[in-house]
């Protein structure tokens, strides 16, 4: 199954994604979208993939031009002569008699116009190798498009992680607001009983206002994240968007294990390295094309007699001609161009090592981000457990009457704040794992069938 985005370029999907696309049919955003469905819709209509898809179409057009270039281009030229050189149109002819007899013989007058079909300079070897180079350019555009798809899927996954985290943060903040509201009500009741001061009421009211402001901030961030997702999916602002944010980590990361991923796997699946290898092959063709330009070019044509000729016979005859166009002197530009193309090929060889080194650096940095995020997450989980134990102590003290309600509510608030911190750190950790999955090539391998792009 092949999905088609609005730009018109086919997207090869792996079998599972293809079956999901076939069963889904036309994009339907009214139902609840999980990550898989969101990827399908993005591949169909996201503007994020439009430019690279059009680059494939443009490369195919250039390839078609080169394919037709295997045959020489033919042009037609005609010209009408208003005036021509004067001519008596009579030839003197001596008859082979005894004695010889001299007579006048009329000569046919050439037409007043010229007709000519002619070819441009044609080098078949240059045309052939130019076509092979264009095929590589098309393949390079395909791999670049796949790279853009992989980047887009990673970006989409990060959006889902953000939305899940924001949803949990809003839920926890609502509970914090409820605690602040209970605390304010308790203080106001104590004021009415004369056991609390107005300052305590102001403090409690300010805490509630701060909690409400934090809720508005989170809701604003949540709304902005949803709008960004709709824009990425190519949806209109008025279209409804319902998301399935249950267990987003499993939806996005699947069975990927960051501990088993290897740098060699990342190198073998890196589309950036594949594109560079194609560019290297392309440069070898550029060298060959530069060499073919040292060879003579063919020219051919068909034309009628020249109307300006004083000796040509008349009639409607057409005459065929072939010839060679040989480069003689151009300041050795063609020779220097061969050296130039060879030097560029050497540059590509050096750049490959640099790109592999860059990939290794990116890989190590991603591994470091995962380790750091895992440590921070573990610390946050430990702090959450500590606040939970303290909240349990406060609950026991409150039930025994050792502390009042505000102190007990403060313990519950600390637990909720710790949970919020854990949610944020967990999102950072999963985002780091997602980044490594993208770098390793596992993310693109799961959604894009590379074999469908080979032809």
Per-residue pLDDT for 354 more than 60? yes
Q: What is the mean pLDDT of residues 281-289?
A: 94
Bridge-based pairing of strands 32-33 and 242-243 is parallel
Could you tell me the two tokens for 309?
């000729």
Name the helix (H) or strand (E) containing 344: helix 333-400
Predicted pLDDT of residue 170:
97
Predicted pLDDT of residue 30:
63
Q: What is the span of the domain harbouring residue 123?
A: 2-453
Q: What is the mean pLDDT of residues 37-61?
A: 93
Q: How confident is the model at residue 196 (pLDDT cuts 50, 70, 90)?
A: confident
In sequence order, which residues have a C-beta less than 8 Å from that of residue 24 and are 6 or more positions away?
Answer: 37, 40
Could you tell me the two tokens for 364?
């190590």
Per-residue pLDDT for 22 more than 50? no
Question: What digits encode the pLDDT tens for the residues 164-173?
Answer: 999 999 999 9
- In degrees, rounded to 5, the angle at the alpha carbon of residue 371 between the alpha carbons of residues 366 and 375 is 145
Question: What's 402's DSSP letter?
Answer: S
Q: How confident is the model at residue 4 (pLDDT cuts 50, 70, 90)?
A: very low
Predicted pLDDT of residue 345:
92
Question: What digits encode the pLDDT tens for the residues 241-272?
Answer: 899 999 999 999 999 999 999 999 999 999 99
The string of DSSP codes covering 405-427 is HHHHHHHHHHHHHHHHHHHHHHH
Instruction: Name the residue with higher pLDDT: 105 or 99.
Output: 99
**Terminal Cα-to-Cα distance of the chain (whole angstroms):** 16
Could you tell me the two tokens for 51?
């430019």
Q: How confident is the model at residue 237 (pLDDT cuts 50, 70, 90)?
A: confident
Predicted pLDDT of residue 228:
95
Q: How confident is the model at residue 32 (pLDDT cuts 50, 70, 90)?
A: confident
Predicted pLDDT of residue 3:
37
Could you tell me the two tokens for 154?
């990673």
Q: What is the mean pLDDT of residues 66-95?
A: 77
Q: How confident is the model at residue 316 (pLDDT cuts 50, 70, 90)?
A: low
Predicted pLDDT of residue 311:
59
Query: Which of 232, 337, 325 is closest to 290 using CA atoms?
Result: 337
Per-residue pLDDT for 24 more than 50? no
Count the domains in the chain.
1
Question: What digits encode the pLDDT tens for the residues 364-402?
Answer: 999 999 999 999 999 999 999 999 999 999 999 999 988
CATH of the domain at 446: 1.20.1600.10
Per-residue pLDDT for 25 more than 60? no
Query: Which of 13, 448, 38 is closest to 232 using CA atoms?
Result: 38
- 27-31, 207-211, 450-454: least confident range: 27-31
Per-residue pLDDT for 10 more than 50? no
The string of DSSP codes covering 52-121 is HHHHHHHHHHHHHHHHHTTS--EEEEEEE-SS------EEEEEE--SS-EEEEEE-PPPPSEEEEEEEPP
Predicted pLDDT of residue 313:
56
% residues pLDDT > 90 (the chain): 70
In angstroms, rounded to a whole number, what is the distance separating the alpha carbons of residues 406 and 421? 22
In sequence order, which residues have a C-beta less than 8 Å from that of residue 365 and are 6 or more positions away?
Answer: none
Per-residue pLDDT for 114 more than 80? yes
Instruction: Name the residue with higher pLDDT: 331 or 434.
Output: 434
Per-residue pLDDT for 9 more than 50? no
In sequence order, which residues have a C-beta less than 8 Å from that of residue 346 and are 6 or more positions away?
Answer: none
Q: Are 85 and 308 in contact (CB under 8 A)?
A: yes
Predicted pLDDT of residue 8:
36
CA distances from 331 to 328, 342, 344, 377 (A): 9, 19, 21, 68
Could you tell me the two tokens for 257?
């294990």
Per-residue pLDDT for 451 more than 90? no
Q: What is the mean pLDDT of residues 166-186?
A: 96
Predicted pLDDT of residue 81:
83
Q: What is the mean pLDDT of residues 57-68?
A: 94
Per-residue pLDDT for 323 more than 60? yes
* Average pLDDT taken over every residue of the chain: 87
Per-residue pLDDT for 449 more than 80? no
In angstroms, rounded to a whole number, what is the distance separating the alpha carbons of residues 36 and 156? 10
């Amino acid at each position: 199954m092949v999905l088609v985005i609005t730009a018109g370029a086919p997207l090869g999907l792996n079998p599972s994604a293809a079956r999901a696309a076939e069963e889904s049919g036309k994009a339907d955003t009214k139902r609840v979208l999980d990550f898989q469905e969101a990827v399908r819709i993005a591949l169909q209509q996201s503007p994020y993939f439009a430019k690279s898809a059009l680059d494939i179409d443009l490369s195919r057009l250039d390839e078609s031009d080169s394919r037709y270039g295997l045959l020489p281009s033919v042009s037609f030229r005609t010209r009408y002569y208003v005036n021509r050189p004067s001519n008596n149109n009579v030839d003197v002819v001596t008859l082979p008699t005894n004695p010889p007899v001299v007579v006048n013989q009329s000569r046919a007058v050439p037409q007043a116009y010229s007709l000519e079909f002619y070819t441009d300079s044609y080098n078949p070897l240059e045309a052939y190798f130019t076509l092979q180079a264009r095929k590589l350019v098309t393949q390079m555009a395909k791999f670049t498009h796949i790279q853009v798809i992989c980047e887009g899927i990673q970006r989409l996954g990060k959006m889902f992680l953000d939305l899940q985290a924001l949803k949990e943060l809003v839920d926890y903040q609502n509970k914090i607001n409820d605690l602040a509201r209970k605390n304010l009500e308790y203080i106001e009741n104590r004021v009415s009983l004369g056991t609390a001061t107005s300052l305590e009421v102001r403090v409690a009211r300010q805490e509630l206002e701060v909690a409400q402001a934090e809720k508005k901030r989170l809701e604003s961030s949540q709304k902005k994240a949803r709008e960004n997702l709709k824009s990425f999916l190519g949806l209109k602002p008025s279209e409804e968007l319902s998301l399935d944010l249950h267990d987003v980590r499993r939806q996005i990361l699947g069975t990927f294990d960051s501990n088993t991923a290897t740098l060699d796997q990342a190198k073998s699946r890196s589309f950036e390295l594949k594109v560079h290898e194609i560019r290297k092959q392309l440069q070898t063709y550029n060298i060959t094309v530069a060499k073919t330009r040292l060879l003579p070019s063919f020219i051919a044509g068909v034309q009628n007699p020249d109307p300006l000729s004083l000796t040509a016979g008349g009639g409607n005859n057409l005459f065929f001609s072939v010839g060679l166009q040989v480069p003689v002197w151009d300041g050795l530009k063609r020779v220097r161009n061969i050296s130039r193309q060879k030097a560029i090929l050497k540059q590509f060889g050096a750049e490959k090592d640099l790109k592999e080194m860059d990939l290794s650096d990116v890989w190590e940095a991603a591994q470091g981000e995962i380790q750091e995020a895992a440590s921070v997450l573990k610390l946050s989980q430990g702090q959450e457990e500590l606040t939970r134990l303290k909240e349990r102590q406060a609950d026991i003290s409150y039930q025994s009457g050792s502390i009042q309600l505000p102190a007990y509510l403060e313990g519950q608030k600390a637990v909720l704040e710790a949970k919020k911190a854990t949610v944020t750190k967990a999102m950072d950790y999963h985002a780091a794992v997602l980044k490594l999955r993208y770098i390793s090539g596992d993310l693109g391998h799961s959604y894009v069938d590379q074999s469908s792009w080979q032809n």
